[in-house]
Amino acid sequence: MKKSWLAIVVAIGVLMAFGATQGISSQGYDGESLVSARCSQCHGLGRVEAAKKVKDRAAWEQTVNRMMSKKADLLNEEERQAVLDFLVQK
Ligand code: HEC
Protein backbone atom coordinates (compact mmCIF):
# COMPACT_ATOMS: atom_id res chain seq x y z
CA MET A 1 0.00 0.00 0.00
CA LYS A 2 2.71 2.42 1.04
CA LYS A 3 4.62 1.69 -2.15
CA SER A 4 1.72 2.49 -4.48
CA TRP A 5 1.23 5.88 -2.80
CA LEU A 6 4.86 6.64 -3.41
CA ALA A 7 4.48 5.63 -7.06
CA ILE A 8 1.53 7.99 -7.45
CA VAL A 9 3.38 10.90 -5.84
CA VAL A 10 6.40 10.29 -8.07
CA ALA A 11 4.17 10.05 -11.15
CA ILE A 12 2.51 13.37 -10.37
CA GLY A 13 5.89 15.00 -9.80
CA VAL A 14 7.17 13.71 -13.15
CA LEU A 15 4.04 14.91 -14.95
CA MET A 16 4.36 18.38 -13.45
CA ALA A 17 8.04 18.63 -14.28
CA PHE A 18 7.29 17.44 -17.81
CA GLY A 19 4.56 20.06 -18.26
CA ALA A 20 6.90 22.80 -17.07
CA THR A 21 9.75 21.88 -19.42
CA GLN A 22 7.39 21.54 -22.39
CA GLY A 23 6.51 25.22 -21.97
CA ILE A 24 2.77 24.71 -22.14
CA SER A 25 1.21 28.15 -21.99
CA SER A 26 -1.73 29.05 -19.79
CA GLN A 27 -4.13 28.64 -22.73
CA GLY A 28 -2.87 25.11 -23.21
CA TYR A 29 -0.96 25.82 -26.41
CA ASP A 30 2.56 24.44 -26.53
CA GLY A 31 4.71 26.96 -28.38
CA GLU A 32 7.64 24.59 -28.75
CA SER A 33 5.57 21.86 -30.44
CA LEU A 34 3.85 24.43 -32.64
CA VAL A 35 7.20 25.76 -33.82
CA SER A 36 8.57 22.30 -34.60
CA ALA A 37 5.39 21.27 -36.41
CA ARG A 38 4.51 24.45 -38.32
CA CYS A 39 7.77 26.33 -38.81
CA SER A 40 9.61 23.39 -40.39
CA GLN A 41 7.23 23.13 -43.34
CA CYS A 42 9.23 25.42 -45.62
CA HIS A 43 12.68 25.62 -44.03
CA GLY A 44 14.68 23.87 -41.36
CA LEU A 45 14.37 24.74 -37.70
CA GLY A 46 18.03 25.75 -37.78
CA ARG A 47 16.90 29.07 -39.16
CA VAL A 48 14.57 29.53 -36.19
CA GLU A 49 17.24 28.43 -33.69
CA ALA A 50 19.79 30.87 -35.12
CA ALA A 51 17.33 33.76 -35.06
CA LYS A 52 16.22 32.88 -31.52
CA LYS A 53 19.62 34.01 -30.26
CA VAL A 54 19.30 37.53 -31.66
CA LYS A 55 15.65 38.52 -32.07
CA ASP A 56 13.61 40.25 -29.38
CA ARG A 57 9.81 40.12 -29.19
CA ALA A 58 9.23 43.01 -31.59
CA ALA A 59 11.54 41.43 -34.16
CA TRP A 60 9.83 38.05 -33.76
CA GLU A 61 6.40 39.61 -34.18
CA GLN A 62 7.51 41.02 -37.52
CA THR A 63 9.05 37.71 -38.58
CA VAL A 64 6.11 35.56 -37.48
CA ASN A 65 3.69 37.95 -39.19
CA ARG A 66 5.76 37.68 -42.36
CA MET A 67 5.73 33.85 -42.15
CA MET A 68 1.96 33.99 -41.66
CA SER A 69 1.61 36.15 -44.75
CA LYS A 70 3.27 33.34 -46.72
CA LYS A 71 0.78 30.77 -45.44
CA ALA A 72 -2.62 32.07 -44.41
CA ASP A 73 -3.62 29.30 -41.98
CA LEU A 74 -0.19 28.89 -40.37
CA LEU A 75 -1.29 29.91 -36.85
CA ASN A 76 -4.42 31.21 -35.20
CA GLU A 77 -4.16 34.12 -32.73
CA GLU A 78 -3.73 31.92 -29.62
CA GLU A 79 -1.14 29.81 -31.40
CA ARG A 80 0.69 32.93 -32.57
CA GLN A 81 0.94 34.16 -28.96
CA ALA A 82 2.17 30.76 -27.72
CA VAL A 83 4.77 30.64 -30.50
CA LEU A 84 5.96 34.17 -29.66
CA ASP A 85 6.18 33.30 -25.94
CA PHE A 86 8.34 30.31 -26.84
CA LEU A 87 10.53 32.19 -29.33
CA VAL A 88 11.48 34.96 -26.88
CA GLN A 89 12.56 32.47 -24.18
CA LYS A 90 16.35 32.49 -23.90
C1 HEC B 1 5.05 29.03 -46.06
C2 HEC B 1 6.46 28.74 -45.82
C3 HEC B 1 7.05 29.14 -44.49
C4 HEC B 1 6.60 28.82 -43.24
C5 HEC B 1 5.41 27.96 -42.87
C6 HEC B 1 7.51 29.46 -42.30
N7 HEC B 1 8.50 30.13 -42.97
FE8 HEC B 1 10.05 31.12 -42.14
N9 HEC B 1 10.72 31.62 -44.01
C10 HEC B 1 10.13 31.26 -45.19
C11 HEC B 1 10.88 31.83 -46.31
C12 HEC B 1 10.53 31.66 -47.79
C13 HEC B 1 11.96 32.54 -45.73
C14 HEC B 1 13.05 33.37 -46.44
C15 HEC B 1 12.48 34.69 -46.94
C16 HEC B 1 12.12 35.63 -45.82
O17 HEC B 1 12.92 35.83 -44.88
O18 HEC B 1 11.00 36.17 -45.85
C19 HEC B 1 11.85 32.38 -44.28
C20 HEC B 1 12.73 32.91 -43.37
C21 HEC B 1 12.64 32.75 -41.99
C22 HEC B 1 13.59 33.29 -41.04
C23 HEC B 1 14.88 34.05 -41.38
C24 HEC B 1 14.59 35.49 -41.70
C25 HEC B 1 14.53 36.35 -40.49
O26 HEC B 1 13.75 37.32 -40.47
O27 HEC B 1 15.26 36.09 -39.49
C28 HEC B 1 13.15 32.97 -39.80
C29 HEC B 1 13.77 33.31 -38.47
C30 HEC B 1 11.90 32.24 -39.99
N31 HEC B 1 11.63 32.11 -41.32
C32 HEC B 1 11.12 31.76 -38.94
C33 HEC B 1 9.92 31.08 -39.10
C34 HEC B 1 9.05 30.71 -38.01
C35 HEC B 1 9.30 31.01 -36.53
C36 HEC B 1 8.00 30.05 -38.56
C37 HEC B 1 6.77 29.49 -37.83
C38 HEC B 1 5.93 30.44 -37.14
C39 HEC B 1 8.21 30.01 -40.00
N40 HEC B 1 9.37 30.65 -40.28
C41 HEC B 1 7.37 29.39 -40.93
C42 HEC B 1 9.02 30.47 -45.34
C43 HEC B 1 8.24 29.96 -44.32
Cβ–ligand 1 distance for 83 under 6 Å, the answer yes
Query: In angstroms, rounded to a whole number, what is the distance separating the alpha carbons of residues 86 and 90?
Result: 9
Residue owning the nearest CA to atom 30 of ligand 1? 48
pLDDT number for residue 19: 53
Residue owning the nearest CA to atom 36 of ligand 1? 39
**Domain ranges across the chain:** 2-87
Residue owning the nearest CA to atom 8 of ligand 1? 67
**What tens digit of pLDDT does each residue of 11-22 get?**
555 555 555 555
Q: Which fold has domain 2-87?
A: Cytochrome Bc1 Complex; Chain D, domain 2 (1.10.760)
pLDDT number for residue 12: 53
Mean pLDDT of 34-43: 97
Instruction: Please check the confidence at residue 76 and state whether its pLDDT lies above 60.
Output: yes
Of ligand 1's atoms, which has the minimum distance to the CA of residue 55? Answer: 27
Mean pLDDT of 25-32: 80
Q: Which residue has the higher pLDDT, 21 or 81?
A: 81
Report yes or no: 56 and 88 within 8 Å, Cβ to Cβ.
yes
**What tens digit of pLDDT does each residue of 45-54 get?**
999 999 999 9
State the pTM of this model.
0.79
* CB neighbour class for 31 (10 Å; exposed up to 12, middle 13-18, buried from 19): buried
CB-based contacts of 56-63 (< 8 A; 24+ apart in sequence): 56/88, 57/84, 57/88, 60/84, 60/87, 60/88
pLDDT number for residue 77: 96
